[in-house]
Amino acid sequence: MTGLLITFEGPEGAGKTTQIQLLAGYLADQPLPVEVLREPGGTSLGEKIRNLLLDPEQEICPGAEAYLYAAARAQLVNNVIKPFLDQGRIVLCDRFADASIAYQGWGRGLGPQRVKEANALALDGIWPDLTVLLDIAPEAGLQRAMDRRAGLDRIEQEDLSFHRAVRQGYSELAGAEPARFLVVDATLSREEISQRISARTAALLLQKGFGLRGEV
Ligand code: Z5A
């Protein structure tokens, strides 16, 4: 495989979508082949599973929730991510397996190791080259999510202790793999965050032999 997988993680409202668009623009300007995906979703099956998972009216037990996220991921990895990587493309994914470890492993209390194991089949050996973790206190992230649109989805509606456990999970994941994670304070300005992400991405691209047009 010759492409690169860069994932974006963080609590809700951290600014992942905003930063993915900015990085996609930077990469397209190089010009490099870039694809933007989101989880859960990105395939016809994945979008249907997404609707189920985020529906506030749908009761889902923690184990079923973990497997539904993994099922959507299996479809995305097999049908979309692997083919893009084989074509040498740079894939930017809004959330990936770390989200399951943080939300289901820590937030739901299923345990990080068990959730990681449950995802092995879905991942089929695929693992991010770089993960950008946008860190923000849950109170601030949820406020941003509420300012943006009316109503919270099934996961956003969880209480603060759930969201604090998720943040703690992400922090543990980043601490365990510092070479893969770039942790950025999500309360900085959009421009400052974007600059840090572009700089780290440029270093990775050069290391992996991608040509870049100019300085970051
Ligand atoms: N989930 C899970 O449990 N397990 C899994 O395995 C996976 C996911 C894959 C998916 O929801 C939910 O599924 C998610 C985790 C769970 N649930 N929660 N909660 P989603 O895809 O609909 O939502 P999200 O991933 O949480 O993202 P989001 O809420 O859409 O936020 P975001 O993409 O990180 O942020 P944004 O849209 O770029 O920005 C939010 C607002 O803040 C917006 O108004 C921006 O203009 C503003 N913003 C952005 N950056 C800044 C800065 N720097 N300063 C000030 N304001 C800013």
Give me the residue spans of the domains in the chain: 4-207
CA distance 52 to 68: 9
142 alpha carbon to ligand 1 midpoint, in Å?
9
Asked if residue 144 has its Cβ within 6 Å of ligand 1, the reply is yes
Give the distance (Å) from ligand 1 centre to CA of residue 15: 6
Residue whose CA is closest, atom 8 of ligand 1? 99
Structure tokens at 70: 């993994």
Q: Look at the domain 4-207 and name its fold.
A: Rossmann fold (3.40.50)
The whole-angstrom separation of Cα 187 and Cα 5 is 25
How many angstroms separate the CA atoms of 136 and 185, rounded? 7
pLDDT given for residue 213 in this prediction = 83
pLDDT for 132 equals 99
Is residue 99 in contact with ligand 1, taking CB distance under 6 Å?
yes
> Which residue type occupies 21?
Q
Question: Number of C-alpha atoms within 13 angstroms, CB side, residue 119?
Answer: 28
pLDDT truncated to tens, each residue of the chain (216 aa)? 599 999 999 999 999 999 999 999 999 999 999 999 999 999 999 999 999 999 999 999 999 999 999 999 999 999 999 999 999 999 999 999 999 999 999 999 999 999 999 999 999 999 999 999 999 999 999 999 889 877 889 998 999 999 999 999 999 999 999 999 999 999 999 999 999 999 999 999 999 999 888 655
The finding on whether 155 has its CB within 6 A of some atom of ligand 1 is yes
Residue with CA at minimum distance from ligand 1 atom 1: 99
Cβ 103 under 6 angstroms from ligand 1: yes
Q: Find tokens 């409202």 and name the residue.
A: 13
pLDDT number for residue 216: 57
Using an 8 Å Cβ cutoff, are 125 and 173 in contact? no
pLDDT at 152: 86
17 close to ligand 1 (CB < 6 Angstrom): yes
Distance CA 96, CA 102 (A): 10
The pLDDT of residue 1: 57
CA 123 to chain centre: 14
pLDDT for residue 145: 87
Please tell me the number of Cα atoms within 13 Å of 208 on its side-chain side. 17
Instruction: Kindly provide the b/e burial profile for residues 63-96, where b requires at least 16 CB atoms within 10 angstroms of the residue's own CB.
Output: eebbbbbbbbbbbbbeebbbebbeeebbbbbbbb
Is the C-beta atom of 140 inside 6 A of ligand 1? no
- Residue nearest atom 19 in ligand 1 by C-alpha distance: 156
Count of other CB atoms within 10 angstroms of residue 207: 9
pLDDT reported for residue 66: 98
Atom 50, ligand 1: residue with shortest CA distance: 15
